[in-house]
Structure 1
Amino acid sequence: MSRKPSFANLRGAAVAPAAIPAAEPAAPAGAGEGSPPRPASREGRKQIAGFFTPDMSLAMHMLARRQNRSLQALMAEAFNDVLRKYGESPVGE
């Protein structure tokens, strides 16, 4: 079984400045040349994300599957329920 080469072997090795490519500034997602176009379904929308336990993730994915709905649709319903609970107007999907 062979081992991967160690980066320690590269210590002290001279690298010519011309060998290092200049970093280009990163363009925002969905903008500029070379980046894939943003899907129309995401236009005018913002992402909301969270980290949950594996059990919560599994339960939500299974519920979405049983209801024949997307996880995003279930999350929108849940967020609207929370808004109603605290006296705010639901905003839809």
Structure 2
Amino acid sequence: MSTARLTQQDMTESEQRELKTLLDRARIAEGRPLTNSETNHVKKEYIDKLMAERELAAKKARQLKKQKALKPDTSATWSWSANTHNRGKR
């Protein structure tokens, strides 16, 4: 199950600022304006990193939710009220 690629509109403001900072640093390192290819390469690397972080956070959240899930009581052998319909069979 692959998620859709993250776009700049989907990023938070702080993430967008970080991307602009990375682009500025790359431009300064080159000493000239970046080409479209170079700009896209920097953006792609940053978006890949963000998507990996978000997937990791989502995975941890799923594990935590699974751990907190209600587990059936194994000590009870038979619970009459749990195994009958409230309004009776139809």
TM above 0.5: no
- TM-score band by shorter chain is under 0.3
Higher relative contact order (CA 8 A, sep 6+): 2
* Structure-1-length-normalised TM-score: 0.27
* Structure-2-length-normalised TM-score: 0.28
- The structure whose residues are more often helix, as a share, is 2
Q: Which has the larger radius of gyration?
A: 2
